[in-house]
Structure 1
Amino acid sequence: MKQLTLVIWLFPVVFMIHDFEEIIFMRPWFKKRKDELQKRFPRFAKKIAQSAKRSTAAFAVGVLEIFTLLAAFNVLAYCFDWYWLWYMQFAAFAVHLVFHLVQSIAMRGYVPAMVTSVLALPYCVWAFMVVAQLNMFTVLQSVLLTMAGLVVISVNMIAAFKLMSCFDQYFNNLGD
């Protein structure tokens, strides 16, 4: 159980290290590659243009919102032995890391969060091994929890992007 406790409490740390890379590099990377992204991925051109305009501070506010939910879930999972709640968000995060690696392959180079995705993978493998050794969930439960986590993260991302837009709009209006 000590390993599980460590795995649970390392998750917010790994998440924030990963998101620091995104916060620091996302805007300059988008600005430099906006035209290339719009040419190569025209179906996503509008979203790319919106992301390129977003301030670093607004992006950090979105990360804060996501981190707050993650931290709350982590505390609830630990305090009430709701390990399914931790696993749901952790497994979705692991999928998220793989998605960054796929993005890197599609872009044929660096994308923000690629480095920390690679560095976080050993933690994810270890966490999955700890969960498997403890026989915490069946394969079906693991798949369902991962899918539920992806849904929760997707819905929360919509809220975070809305918050980012509100933040940028508010601070842009202060300058008028």
Structure 2
Amino acid sequence: MTIETLIWMLPLIFIVHDFEEIILIKTWKNKNQDLFLAPTGFKPYDHFKSQEKFSMAVLEELILFIGVAFYTVISQNYLVWIGTFFAVTFHYIPHFIFCFHVKRFVPGAFTALLALPVSIWILIAVIQRTHYNAFELVASCIICLLVFMLNLKGIQHVMSQ
């Protein structure tokens, strides 16, 4: 598989995962009202107020990831892509934590389970084809993870309005 094909897996894997969430969150929240009616406790997807707002948030992230993939293919600079793909891959882990915490399935967990090993393989394959040192890779992953988390917090805030 060419490195360019691997680069375009970023928006592709992301959108498949988020389609699961778009399709399932509303029904899941309705069926799991007990989690949200409790005065305290863990409330996954509490920021979700409408499917339209969630879809707009997904679109915003998709546009960013398409931009990262496009920039990477054009520039042949893989550092931002590696950090971004790491952040997307890392983001699957909370889905598993949510499942264990609420002791039931949560939207996104199924595709996260499928995407995690594939994403790790893709990340390793791209890193092996580049020339970056460990410091550059770790710095890129940390910076992109922080940017990803800030962006996620921002869009969650907008969705909860």
- Measured against the shorter chain, the TM-score band is 0.7 to 0.9
Normalized per residue, the structure richer in helix is 1
Q: Greater Rg, structure 1 or structure 2?
A: 1
Separation in 1, partners of 2:149, 2:72? 20
Unaligned runs of 5+ in 2: none
Deviations 1:77-135 (A, max 9, x none): 11112211111110001100122122222222211001101111232122122134225
Could you state the TM-score of these two structures normalised by the residue count of structure 1? 0.79
Query: Which residue is equivalent to 2:34?
Result: 35
Could you state the TM-score of these two structures normalised by the residue count of structure 2? 0.86
Contact kept? 2:36, 2:46, Cα under 8 Å? no
Q: Paired residue for 2:106, among 101, 105, 111? A: 111
Query: Which residue is equivalent to 1:171?
Result: none
Cα 1:38–1:140 change in 2 (3 A) is farther
Is 1:83 the counterpart of 2:78? The answer is yes
Unaligned runs of 5+ in 1: 167-176
Q: Secondary structure at the match of 2:104?
A: coil
Percent identical pairs in the alignment equals: 27
Aligned residues: 161
Separation in 2, partners of 1:66, 1:129? 23
What is the RMSD computed on CA atoms of the aligned residues?
2.4
Separation in 1, partners of 2:135, 2:37? 39
Cα 1:34–1:138 change in 2 (3 A) is farther
Is 1:139 the counterpart of 2:128? The answer is no
Query: Which residue is equivalent to 2:57?
Result: 62
Cα 1:137–1:99 change in 2 (3 A) is farther
